[in-house]
Structure 1
């Protein structure tokens, strides 16, 4: 009986009430959870590794983390990287130590939106993951290769979660209908629209149909047709995507439209995503990447403009901030294109990773002490500013053994477009000066 001392509790949202309580109730992710699949085997073995669950919103990352904790009979401590900091991490670790000491149980520390933590915050988990105090589970919608630091990534297995298929969403819709409004039916065409609107996101589906069923019951409607759908949920359906394109496909279309120098298509995809509820600052980060990857040194102003547009959005919000971002999208689309610096970075990184550790040549070493000078540190170094054109022609800046074996790599190959056209001319001139200087030395 309810009285003043036992107040009514608010009913949990439909998405929470339908959250699976066992592994067999989970809808989707069969590539991980079916018989003999990786996560199913990990569940069955009871030896659960630290892991990162990577996938779009509403595909069950938090649900799986909770089920893992229940299966392992471990305490579950959830924190959000959006709202938490180092202090919260310390408190979670202290709680995990207390649980281990008092109850002998391990702790699963679940970090939602782990990509929002910076490198220092991510590093804070490492000693406790290594000691086995916590099993770390991170959830992210971003590619862990870019957003999770390598130290943490090397200590966790990455499991990729997929958007739910239409058949899987349909099963969820049936469960929702039985729980919320068993007597309310959906016309076939409405059902198709609702499933397409969800776009693979279970949470989005359940939140939408909860409002739809409640509206129907309130209006005494027993079958929801097209007219009722448009009347009651028009503001949400405005963003409904009949093609069902995935969020990341639209990002890809935006990026490729910019790379393809089509400002109209780039603007279309940018505004499609804004209209669909994408976080403008997420789009801003991707726009910065486009400036770095596809324009590069052909127009260095592009990177600064992209950063400034993000700052404008942070300061002004919507709609002024979105206008600033759209300006940059147009600018990037019409800017000269070059991925030469991007390719140079990747090639140099790969070369260094497989190459041995070569010593710094003596002429490039610093000599702050008498001993170092006596050992010829810095000897014969030529200060470029004292040379004609501020260039020490013929000087080699690579390790000696690279030069001796005639294996000096060339990573940066500028294009003839934009500023890189000038850079190409400059580098050709400097190399010509090198050849002349080396020819003079050869004659002596």
Structure 2
């Protein structure tokens, strides 16, 4: 046994059956298992939190499909590295008859030109691309590459899965180190891991190594925390605190507390969080929580998102702070958010209701003969640019999805809607 190899690496699963927590992908009816069983492998993006098995899954796919495996890290690789690997892959393809796998870890860190350099190779089938990302691919992967790949979501490990993993790590450590540690409770390890399997195994190895030459063999939660608290960082942008602190940041702005918002913002900046990630979350909040109570908030948040990408650190902190404070002190309304969710739920329930004839487009004579658009009233032909007519399908013509919030802007909207539509 090589003590230089971390326990997490020694425990890395070698087959789909050994992977924990991703049954929807690797289980008997899992999509990736079916893909491998049918030998129908396409380019894919694995999206999920750290420590959920993205790299492991890519390696198993390569092994099980009998394909050569090339690996690049987006942190340390450039366009030249990508092109060199593609050239090697093309040669490999000639000998094996199967397109090699090109695995790119943290693909969201590739800029547009780096991602574009992959397109031709993916289109030609020289490589099967597998990208791993902790960020939403819709924002971080160029649309041309995204359209050529299937996105698979990996889930954070739940309590039972983490508990099972802790048991596996304990048993393996005891066996390899000839120790007989026992554990009163796994709560401390599980809480510390934040759903990150690799972090949990690393913490088990760290704690047991610490107590290896000490008489104590029954490890308590206090024993665990006594070791782990010495190694905790201010902010782990790839772990539990990443999610906890961004949650506190969002809730501070939603709760109209500029002091809380700036404090949690400072924690993220000091910890090296991606400034685009912070700005993007404020952009979402501007629409979801400030909404129509202050429509200008969305404009300011969008300008901040665009500007931080141009300005970069350290000056970006000023733009982020200004925007966070502005959103925190803005009046709040989630009426637009609730309206679209209610409408989506109604669409799911009622299906594809027909568009009323008077609202249909009539580009051909046949459609005109069928009365498409015949009864439509052009609002600008009427006083006040308004005329009372139905805009919903007949079956739901009296439904209401948008309810104005109780704030100065939407109170005016409510008055205007009541004036035009009355009780409707």
TM-score w.r.t. length of structure 2: 0.67
Q: Give per-residue Cα distances to partners, 1:334-357, cap 9 Å, x unaligned.
A: 246799999xxxxxxxxxxxx99x
Q: Give per-residue Cα distances to partners, 1:10-36, cap 9 Å, x unaligned.
A: 611111111111111111101111112
Paired residue for 2:116, among 120, 123, 126? Answer: 123
Aligned to 2:193: 198
Q: Give the number of equivalent residue pairs.
A: 347
- SS, match of residue 51 in structure 2: coil
How many angstroms apart in 1 are the aligned matches of 2:169 and 2:317?
36
* 1:80-99 equivalent positions in 2, closer than 5 A: 80-99=73-92
- Tell whether 2:219 aligns with 1:207: no
How many angstroms apart in 2 are the aligned matches of 1:13 and 1:117?
28
In structure 2, the CA distance between the partners of 1:188 and 1:264, relative to structure 1 (3 Å rule), is: farther
* 1:36-435 equivalent positions in 2, closer than 5 A: 36-182=29-175, 183-189=179-185, 191-236=186-231, 247-248=242-243, 251-252=246-247, 254-267=249-262, 270=265, 279=273, 281=275, 283-286=277-280, 289=283, 293=287, 297-298=296-297, 314-315=313-314, 328-335=323-330, 406=378
- SS, match of residue 75 in structure 2: coil
TM-score w.r.t. length of structure 1: 0.65
Is the 2:44–2:129 Cα contact (8 Å) retained in structure 1?
A: yes
Aligned to 1:386: none
Unaligned ranges ≥5, structure 2: 338-359, 364-375, 386-404, 414-424
In the TM superposition, residue 237 of structure 1 has moved relative to its aligned partner by 5.6
How many angstroms apart in 2 are the aligned matches of 1:131 and 1:312?
37
- SS, match of residue 218 in structure 1: coil
Is the 1:194–1:205 Cα contact (8 Å) retained in structure 2?
A: yes
Q: Give per-residue Cα distances to partners, 1:315-335, cap 9 Å, x unaligned.
A: 48xxxx879855653343124
How many angstroms apart in 2 are the aligned matches of 1:201 and 1:313?
29
Is the 1:177–1:184 Cα contact (8 Å) retained in structure 2?
A: no
- SS, match of residue 88 in structure 2: helix
Q: CA RMSD in A?
A: 4.3
In structure 2, the CA distance between the partners of 1:113 and 1:405, relative to structure 1 (3 Å rule), is: farther
In the TM superposition, residue 300 of structure 1 has moved relative to its aligned partner by 5.8
Is the 1:86–1:121 Cα contact (8 Å) retained in structure 2?
A: yes
How many angstroms apart in 1 are the aligned matches of 2:279 and 2:226?
37
In the TM superposition, residue 297 of structure 1 has moved relative to its aligned partner by 3.3
Larger of the two Rg values belongs to structure: 1
Aligned to 1:431: none
How many angstroms apart in 1 are the aligned matches of 2:309 and 2:326?
15
In the TM superposition, residue 180 of structure 1 has moved relative to its aligned partner by 1.8
How many angstroms apart in 1 are the aligned matches of 2:187 and 2:123?
48
Stretch deviating more after TM superposition (156-165 or 111-120): 111-120
In structure 2, the CA distance between the partners of 1:287 and 1:14, relative to structure 1 (3 Å rule), is: same
Aligned to 1:433: none
In the TM superposition, residue 188 of structure 1 has moved relative to its aligned partner by 2.7
Q: Give per-residue Cα distances to partners, 1:64-121, cap 9 Å, x unaligned.
A: 0000000111111111112212111111110101112244342101111111122232
In the TM superposition, residue 193 of structure 1 has moved relative to its aligned partner by 1.2
How many angstroms apart in 1 are the aligned matches of 2:297 and 2:164?
51
In structure 2, the CA distance between the partners of 1:254 and 1:333, relative to structure 1 (3 Å rule), is: same
Aligned to 1:361: none
How many angstroms apart in 1 are the aligned matches of 2:150 and 2:377?
41
How many angstroms apart in 2 are the aligned matches of 1:230 and 1:249?
19
In structure 2, the CA distance between the partners of 1:44 and 1:302, relative to structure 1 (3 Å rule), is: closer
* 1:22-41 equivalent positions in 2, closer than 5 A: 22-41=15-34
- SS, match of residue 91 in structure 1: helix
Is the 2:249–2:260 Cα contact (8 Å) retained in structure 1?
A: yes
Is the 1:78–1:109 Cα contact (8 Å) retained in structure 2?
A: yes
Unaligned ranges ≥5, structure 1: 1-7, 343-354, 359-403, 410-414, 425-444
Aligned to 1:365: none
In structure 2, the CA distance between the partners of 1:214 and 1:157, relative to structure 1 (3 Å rule), is: same
